[in-house]
Amino acid sequence: MNQNAQVSLEYLLVLLAFLGVFAAMLPFAVSAYHAGIFAIDSASANNFAEQLSSEISDLGVLSENSGKKIIARPFLEWSFHSEKKILFLSVKSTALSREKHFSVSFPNEISFSEKTFSEKTVFLLEKTGSKLLFSVLTENAD
3-state secondary structure of 79: strand
What domain count does the chain have?
A: 1
- Local structure of residue 40 (DSSP, 8 states): H
- Residue 111 pLDDT > 80, yes or no? no
Contacts 24+ apart (CB under 8 A), 128-133: 128/64, 128/65, 129/64, 132/56, 132/59, 132/106, 132/107, 132/108
- Residue 1 pLDDT > 60, yes or no? no
Task: Identify the sign of the CA torsion 118, 124, 130, 131.
Answer: negative
Average pLDDT, the chain: 89
- Residue 131 pLDDT > 60, yes or no? yes
Half-sphere exposure of 133 (CA within 13 A, CB side): 12
Tens of pLDDT along 76-89?
999 999 998 999 99
Cβ atoms 138, 115 nearer than 8 A: no
- Residue 95 pLDDT > 70, yes or no? yes
- Local structure of residue 74 (DSSP, 8 states): -
- Residue 142 pLDDT > 60, yes or no? no
- Residue 2 pLDDT > 80, yes or no? no
CA dist., res. 39 & res. 48, Å (int): 14
Q: What is the pLDDT of residue 41?
A: 96
pLDDT higher at 1 or 78:
78
Q: What is the pLDDT of residue 132?
A: 85
Tens of pLDDT along 18-68?
999 999 999 999 999 999 999 999 999 999 999 999 998 888 787 888 889
3-state secondary structure of 67: strand
pTM: 0.81
Q: Give the model's confidence band at 138: pLDDT under 50 very low, under 70 low, under 90 confident, else very high.
A: confident
Residue 108 belongs to domain spanning: 2-139
Of 106, 101, 67, which is closest to residue 83 (Cα–Cα)? 106
